[in-house]
A = this chain, B = another copy of it.
Amino acid sequence: MPLVRIDVLEGRSRGELDAICEGVHQALVESIGIPVLDRFQVIAEHGPGGLVFDPDYLSIPRTRGVVFVQVTISAGRTLEQKRALYAAIARNLSSGAAVLPEDVLINLIEVSRENWSFGNGLAQYAPSESQGGPR
Protein backbone atom coordinates (compact mmCIF):
# COMPACT_ATOMS: atom_id res chain seq x y z
CA MET A 1 0.00 0.00 0.00
CA PRO A 2 2.75 2.50 0.27
CA LEU A 3 2.85 5.10 -2.45
CA VAL A 4 6.40 6.36 -2.47
CA ARG A 5 7.56 9.65 -3.97
CA ILE A 6 11.30 10.05 -4.37
CA ASP A 7 12.90 13.30 -5.50
CA VAL A 8 16.56 13.77 -6.45
CA LEU A 9 18.72 16.19 -8.38
CA GLU A 10 19.68 15.30 -11.95
CA GLY A 11 22.98 13.60 -12.53
CA ARG A 12 22.47 10.04 -11.41
CA SER A 13 22.57 7.08 -13.75
CA ARG A 14 19.51 4.97 -14.42
CA GLY A 15 21.16 2.23 -12.39
CA GLU A 16 21.59 4.51 -9.42
CA LEU A 17 17.99 5.65 -9.59
CA ASP A 18 16.81 2.05 -9.79
CA ALA A 19 18.97 1.17 -6.79
CA ILE A 20 17.42 4.00 -4.78
CA CYS A 21 13.91 2.75 -5.59
CA GLU A 22 14.91 -0.80 -4.76
CA GLY A 23 16.57 0.18 -1.49
CA VAL A 24 13.54 2.10 -0.29
CA HIS A 25 11.23 -0.75 -1.16
CA GLN A 26 13.39 -3.41 0.49
CA ALA A 27 13.47 -1.25 3.62
CA LEU A 28 9.66 -1.21 3.71
CA VAL A 29 9.62 -4.98 3.31
CA GLU A 30 12.34 -5.68 5.90
CA SER A 31 11.33 -3.25 8.59
CA ILE A 32 7.56 -3.03 8.60
CA GLY A 33 6.42 -6.08 6.72
CA ILE A 34 5.17 -4.56 3.49
CA PRO A 35 4.50 -7.37 0.98
CA VAL A 36 7.25 -7.71 -1.61
CA LEU A 37 4.78 -7.20 -4.45
CA ASP A 38 3.21 -4.10 -2.84
CA ARG A 39 5.46 -1.68 -4.70
CA PHE A 40 4.30 1.61 -6.17
CA GLN A 41 6.87 4.39 -6.57
CA VAL A 42 7.43 7.62 -8.43
CA ILE A 43 10.96 8.94 -8.75
CA ALA A 44 11.52 12.39 -10.23
CA GLU A 45 14.76 14.14 -11.16
CA HIS A 46 15.05 17.88 -10.84
CA GLY A 47 17.35 20.43 -12.44
CA PRO A 48 19.36 22.94 -10.43
CA GLY A 49 16.97 24.92 -8.26
CA GLY A 50 14.23 22.35 -8.59
CA LEU A 51 15.11 20.68 -5.34
CA VAL A 52 16.01 23.01 -2.48
CA PHE A 53 17.62 21.74 0.72
CA ASP A 54 19.54 23.17 3.60
CA PRO A 55 23.08 21.75 3.74
CA ASP A 56 23.31 21.86 7.53
CA TYR A 57 19.91 21.74 9.28
CA LEU A 58 20.19 19.88 12.61
CA SER A 59 23.95 19.82 12.00
CA ILE A 60 23.53 17.11 9.40
CA PRO A 61 25.73 17.87 6.39
CA ARG A 62 23.85 17.36 3.13
CA THR A 63 25.21 17.26 -0.40
CA ARG A 64 23.79 17.49 -3.90
CA GLY A 65 23.23 13.76 -3.53
CA VAL A 66 20.28 14.43 -1.23
CA VAL A 67 17.27 12.13 -1.63
CA PHE A 68 13.77 13.12 -0.50
CA VAL A 69 11.61 10.09 0.28
CA GLN A 70 7.93 10.74 1.00
CA VAL A 71 5.92 7.63 1.82
CA THR A 72 2.13 7.60 1.98
CA ILE A 73 1.16 4.60 4.06
CA SER A 74 -1.72 3.29 6.14
CA ALA A 75 -1.64 4.48 9.74
CA GLY A 76 -0.84 2.13 12.57
CA ARG A 77 2.92 1.68 12.68
CA THR A 78 4.51 2.16 16.08
CA LEU A 79 7.31 4.60 16.70
CA GLU A 80 9.71 1.68 16.91
CA GLN A 81 8.59 0.48 13.50
CA LYS A 82 9.05 3.94 12.07
CA ARG A 83 12.54 4.14 13.57
CA ALA A 84 13.36 0.78 12.04
CA LEU A 85 12.07 1.96 8.68
CA TYR A 86 14.15 5.14 8.69
CA ALA A 87 17.26 3.21 9.66
CA ALA A 88 16.65 0.59 6.99
CA ILE A 89 16.12 3.16 4.24
CA ALA A 90 19.31 5.03 5.15
CA ARG A 91 21.26 1.78 5.43
CA ASN A 92 19.99 0.37 2.14
CA LEU A 93 20.60 3.56 0.18
CA SER A 94 24.04 3.86 1.68
CA SER A 95 25.06 0.30 0.93
CA GLY A 96 23.29 -0.26 -2.33
CA ALA A 97 22.81 3.09 -4.00
CA ALA A 98 25.84 5.22 -3.12
CA VAL A 99 23.74 7.68 -1.12
CA LEU A 100 25.23 9.12 2.07
CA PRO A 101 23.10 8.45 5.18
CA GLU A 102 23.16 12.19 5.86
CA ASP A 103 21.52 12.77 2.49
CA VAL A 104 18.39 10.74 3.18
CA LEU A 105 15.35 12.83 4.15
CA ILE A 106 12.22 10.82 4.93
CA ASN A 107 8.63 11.83 5.60
CA LEU A 108 5.62 9.61 6.23
CA ILE A 109 2.04 10.58 5.45
CA GLU A 110 -0.40 8.28 7.21
CA VAL A 111 -3.87 7.56 5.87
CA SER A 112 -6.77 5.26 6.64
CA ARG A 113 -6.74 1.76 5.17
CA GLU A 114 -9.97 2.53 3.35
CA ASN A 115 -8.15 5.29 1.45
CA TRP A 116 -6.65 2.92 -1.12
CA SER A 117 -7.82 1.38 -4.34
CA PHE A 118 -5.32 -0.90 -6.07
CA GLY A 119 -7.31 -1.36 -9.23
CA ASN A 120 -10.75 -2.11 -10.62
CA GLY A 121 -12.27 0.74 -8.64
CA LEU A 122 -12.51 -1.28 -5.42
CA ALA A 123 -11.36 -0.44 -1.90
CA GLN A 124 -9.37 -3.63 -1.35
CA TYR A 125 -8.18 -2.68 2.14
CA ALA A 126 -11.43 -1.28 3.53
CA PRO A 127 -12.77 -3.08 6.63
CA SER A 128 -15.93 -4.54 5.22
CA GLU A 129 -14.30 -5.85 2.06
CA SER A 130 -12.75 -8.58 4.18
CA GLN A 131 -15.95 -9.23 6.11
CA GLY A 132 -18.46 -9.04 3.35
CA GLY A 133 -17.02 -11.58 1.00
CA PRO A 134 -16.41 -11.01 -2.67
CA ARG A 135 -18.04 -8.10 -4.44
Q: CB distance A121 to B89 under 8 Å? A: yes
Q: CB distance A110 to B107 under 8 Å? A: no
Q: Which residues of B contact A127 (CB under 8 A)?
A: 79
Q: Which residues of B contact A56 (CB under 8 A)?
A: 37
Contact mask A41-76 → B, CB, 8 Å, 1/0? 111101001111110111010100000101010000
Tell me, rounded to whole Å, the shortest Cβ–Cβ distance linking A118 to chain B: 5
Q: CB distance A42 to B37 under 8 Å? A: no
Copies in the complex: 3
Contact mask A101-130 → B, CB, 8 Å, 1/0? 111111111111011111111111011100
Q: Which residues of B contact A116 (CB under 8 A)?
A: 106-108
Q: Which of B18, B21, B42, B90 contacts A121 (CB 8 A)?
A: B90
Q: CB distance A54 to B40 under 8 Å? A: yes
Q: CB distance B42 to A46 under 8 Å? A: yes
Given contacts A39-B57, A43-B46, A108-B111, 5 further A-B pairs with CB under 8 A are A25-B52, A82-B123, A86-B121, A104-B117, A105-B117
- Contacts A/B (CB < 8 Å), 18 sampled: A3-B70, A14-B49, A17-B49, A39-B52, A41-B51, A42-B46, A42-B68, A62-B119, A72-B109, A83-B122, A86-B117, A87-B121, A90-B120, A90-B121, A104-B119, A105-B119, A108-B116, A109-B115
